[in-house]
Amino acid sequence: MKSGGASRQPLIAGNWKMYKTAGEGAEFIRALASSLGRLADRQVIVAPAFVGLAHAVEAAKGSGIGVAAQDVFWEKEGPYTGEVSAAMLADLGVKAVIIGHSERRRLFGETDTGVKNKVRATLDCGLLPIVCVGETEGEREEGRTEEVLARQIHTGLAAVRPEEAAQVVIAYEPVWAIGTGKTATPETAEEAMAFVRGQVAARLGESAARTVRILYGGSVRPDNVDMLMDQPDIDGALVGGASLALESFVRIVRFQRRRGSDG
């Protein structure tokens, strides 16, 4: 389907994983805000660990920088030791939640059904889900990339209504490119992301697919972000390692596109 990206605001999100104390995160956000100033044409989000969220929200006040959590549990409340609900995150001033990151799928048993439940709970609390999908190296070598992406999209978005597409972000992150220094070429990323958009169209309709934002993630750096952002289906980036250092993250946020804004 034709991408038609005119109305999709670019989004750069930094996933800090299990790095930075609460104080370090807050300091980083203050420095980021003063380096960036107010950016009208793009959205910036950082995702600290749970313990850093309150400090991060405080540090980001008035800057336009949004704060995301790296996970959430789908129940509203109850005897779920160690878990955090979407309502608790919303109450803190968090704006978004990364859901189904490949590290959570691989190391902590996250399933597509869990992703579906978390996406619903996140939307119900007015937060932006950033839903991660992507194939492993083995799945790509076996020619199963599309099968894996289709399954992750159809189950992960099963509880989303078509009119909610503008409040949903998908991050296509080929697992073999995360934290490895191996980036998908812009063409490989575009091919997979056009496929993802097609699956959103199949699940939620063409208008939803034109509205939903799709980020690329996997070793995004200052030297490759512009090329990636030139692709018609790439609406932004989910950045791990390069979001930890101010200089590289600022450069990534300041990506430049040579293509027109209509994709």
238 binds ligand PEP (CB under 6 A): yes
Nearest-approach distance from CB 142 to ligand PEP, in angstroms: 22
Q: How far apart are CA 84 and CA 160, in angstroms?
A: 21
173 catalytic residue (yes or no): yes
Cβ-contact 189, 228 below 8 angstroms:
yes
CA distances to 101, 103, 185, 193 from 14, rounded to whole Å, are 13, 15, 20, 19
Q: Taking CB positions, which residue lies at the least distance from ligand PEP? A: 240
Count of CB atoms situated within 10 Å of the CB of 38: 8
Sketch the per residue contact string, 118 through 157, with ligand PEP: x for CB under 6 A, - otherwise. Answer: ----------------------------------------
- Tell me whether residue 40 or residue 107 sits nearer to ligand PEP (CB atom): 107
Q: How far apart are CA 205 and CA 254, in angstroms?
A: 32
- Tell me whether residue 139 or residue 173 sits nearer to ligand PEP (CB atom): 173
Q: Which of 5, 66, 217, 236 binds ligand PEP (CB under 6 A)?
A: 217
List residues bridging with 26 in a β-sheet: none
Q: Extract the tokens encoding 58.
A: 């405080």
- Tell me whether residue 118 or residue 203 sits nearer to ligand PEP (CB atom): 118
CA geometry: angle 105, 110, 114, nearest 5 deg = 140
Nearest-approach distance from CB 238 to ligand PEP, in angstroms: 5
Active-site annotation holder among 103, 139, 164, 173: 173
Nearest-approach distance from CB 67 to ligand PEP, in angstroms: 16
Q: Extract the tokens encoding 143.
A: 């020619």
Cβ-contact 7, 211 below 8 angstroms:
yes
12 binds ligand PEP (CB under 6 A): no
Q: Which of 3, 5, 12, 15 binds ligand PEP (CB under 6 A)?
A: 15
- Tell how strand 66-69 and strand 43-47 pair up: parallel
101 catalytic residue (yes or no): yes
- Tell how strand 128-133 and strand 169-172 pair up: parallel
Stretch of residues binding ligand PEP (CB under 6 A), selected from 120-128, 146-154, 195-203, 218-226? 218-226
178 binds ligand PEP (CB under 6 A): yes
Q: Extract the tokens encoding 90.
A: 């919303």
Cβ-contact 75, 41 below 8 angstroms:
no
Nearest-approach distance from CB 17 to ligand PEP, in angstroms: 6
Stretch of residues binding ligand PEP (CB under 6 A), selected from 35-43, 196-204, 225-233, 237-245? 237-245
Binding site for ligand PEP (CB under 6 A): 15, 173, 178-179, 217-220, 238-242
